[in-house]
């Protein structure tokens, strides 16, 4: 059985060069800090430190081996979603990145699968790019938890959900542009709290907006252990039972929709990960590392192997479910 990491980002050196050439207006720059880290600047927003493995494939292979990971499902870095840019530009950069990921998969089929980035601010274009990218061998898409502040139940996004369900696409939702950012400026709270918070808002929007009910073919995976979803899911069900507001678009209990979610393992401790597995079942938990970022972990596979759960469940999490979902 292959150990499959479903949450890993890539912005390879050749992709950087192509984006600089084909989309100079986004001002993509990679400025070394030292031999291990750089500053990644995209559209005027610097991110530091961007680890070497994010762009250097040889370093990535060494890190995968050290992490006991056989395959990564690679996606673009969240910095290159570019939802705030003109749709034509984002569509072009998405196509370029997706073609580069498809080339990477073709060159190393034993080590990589890929999912696409989409111009989500232009849903019809996003749906078309999803179909095109999957035609190139990618297995789904990596999308933000909101689109320029609009939640994922926005009616304009229906073409994306319909196409994703039709194609059986694997959709990884990743936090971006998090809610409450004005109160999360200190202590790295925009990541520590903001990221799981925004994933939770995205999940709730998909549930109570009826998106999952309307599209039973959707396969949605929530980053970073699902944010607060597993811990508070019963509160959602109770709220739907006693209040009218959650019933505006969802006429049945949210339980069935909530059960549809998949979750990565990025929780950083055994107790919450064991709680997640016990709550949603091993078949809905997928190995993730968040490679190469510092809020991820190269211990992901070893953490799963150390869990106090049956061996069959460990195997399911380490790669069995991912293999089934991704073909």
Give me the residue label for tokens 């252990």. Answer: 225
Task: Give me the pLDDT at residue 182, please.
Answer: 96
What does pLDDT average to over the chain?
98
DSSP per position, 11-61: --HHHHHHHHHH-GGG--EEEESSSSEEEEEETTEEEEEEEGGGT-HHHHH
User: Would 65 be classed as within a structural domain?
Assistant: yes
Q: Are 236 and 183 in contact (CB under 8 A)?
A: no
pLDDT 10s digits, 208-259? 999 999 999 999 999 999 999 999 999 999 999 999 999 999 999 999 999 9
Task: Give me the pLDDT at residue 327, please.
Answer: 87
Q: Positive or negative, the Cα torsion across 292, 201, 249, 235?
A: positive
Strand partners, 147: 150
Q: Give the number of C-alpha atoms closer than 13 A to the C-alpha of residue 231, restricted to the C-beta side.
A: 12
> What total of structural domains would you count in the chain?
1
Name the pairing type of β-strands 112-114 and 140-144.
Answer: unpaired
- Round to whole Å and give the CA distance between 250 and 254: 7
| CATH number for 194 | 3.20.20.140
Angle of the 229-242 helix axis to the 194-208 helix axis, nearest 10: 40
Q: Does pLDDT of 311 surpass 90?
A: yes
pLDDT 10s digits, 122-166? 999 999 999 999 999 999 999 999 999 999 999 999 999 999 999
pLDDT 10s digits, 33-53? 999 999 999 999 999 999 999
User: Would 31 be classed as within a structural domain?
Assistant: no
The domain of 231 spans 4-9+56-326
Task: Give me the pLDDT at residue 118, please.
Answer: 98
User: Would 220 be classed as within a structural domain?
Assistant: yes
Task: Give me the pLDDT at residue 1, please.
Answer: 87
| pLDDT confidence band for 310 (50 / 70 / 90) | very high
């Amino acid at each position: 059985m292959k150990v499959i990491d479903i949450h890993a980002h890539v912005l390879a050196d050749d992709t950087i060069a192509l984006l600089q050439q084909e989309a100079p207006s986004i001002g993509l720059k990679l400025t070394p800090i030292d031999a291990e880290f750089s500053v990644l600047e995209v559209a005027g927003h610097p991110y530091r430190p961007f680890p070497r493995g994010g762009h250097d494939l040889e370093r990535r292979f060494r890190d995968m081996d050290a992490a006991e990971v056989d395959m990564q499902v690679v996606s673009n870095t969240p910095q290159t979603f570019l939802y705030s840019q003109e749709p034509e530009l984002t569509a072009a950069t998405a196509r370029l990145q997706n073609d580069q990921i498809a080339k990477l998969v073709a060159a190393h089929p034993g080590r990589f699968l890929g999912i696409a980035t989409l111009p989500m601010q232009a849903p019809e274009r996003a749906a078309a790019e999803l179909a095109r990218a999957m035609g190139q061998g990618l297995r789904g898409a990596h999308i933000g938890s909101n689109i320029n502040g609009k939640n994922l139940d926005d009616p304009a996004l229906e073409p994306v959900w319909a196409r994703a369900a039709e194609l059986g696409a694997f959709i990884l939702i990743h936090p971006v542009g998090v809610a409450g950012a004005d109160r999360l400026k200190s202590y790295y709270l925009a990541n520590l709290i903001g990221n799981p918070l925004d994933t939770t808002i995205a999940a709730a929007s998909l549930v109570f907006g009826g998106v999952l009910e309307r599209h039973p073919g959707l396969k949605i995976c929530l980053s970073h252990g699902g944010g607060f979803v597993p811990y508070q899911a019963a509160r959602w069900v109770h709220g739907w039972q006693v209040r009218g507001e959650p019933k505006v678009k969802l006429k049945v209990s949210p339980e069935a929709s909530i059960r549809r979610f998949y979750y990565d393992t990025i929780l950083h401790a055994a107790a919450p990960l064991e709680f997640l597995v016990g709550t949603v079942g091993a078949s809905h938990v997928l190995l993730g590392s968040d490679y190469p970022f510092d809020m991820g972990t190269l211990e992901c596979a070893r953490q799963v192997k150390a869990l106090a759960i049956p061996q069959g469940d460990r195997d399911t999490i380490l790669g069995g479910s991912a293999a089934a979902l991704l073909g």
